[in-house]
Amino acid sequence: MLERRYTAIFEPAEEGGYVVHIPALNDLVTEGDTLEEAVAMAKDAIRGYIECLLEKNWTVPEEQEHLKPFTKNLAVSL
């Protein structure tokens, strides 16, 4: 059995729920109404994407190091 780990980026959706991006897999995107559903949908999307690649005998991408989003509080003098 093939096992891979990929970074998933969860963003709150405007209409509620979460949008999930998997950058290493051609920015694969899915969503879920709750965090738990979004995690399940992401795993299912990753599994389906990899299964399609394997059926076509294409290379399954490895996780790549990438910059992680972050927030920073900035002070501005006027």
**In-domain check, residue 34:** yes
What's the 3-state SS for the chain? CCCCCCCCEEEECCCCCEEEEECCCCCEEEEECCHHHHHHHHHHHHHHHHHHHHHCCCCCCCCCCCCCCCCCCCCCCC
Domain total for the chain?
1
For residue 44, give its domain range.
9-55
pLDDT tens digits, 20-68: 999 999 989 999 999 999 999 999 999 999 999 999 999 999 887 766 6
**In-domain check, residue 73:** no
On the question of pLDDT at 13 being above 70, the answer is yes
**In-domain check, residue 14:** yes
On the question of pLDDT at 5 being above 80, the answer is yes
- pTM here? 0.78
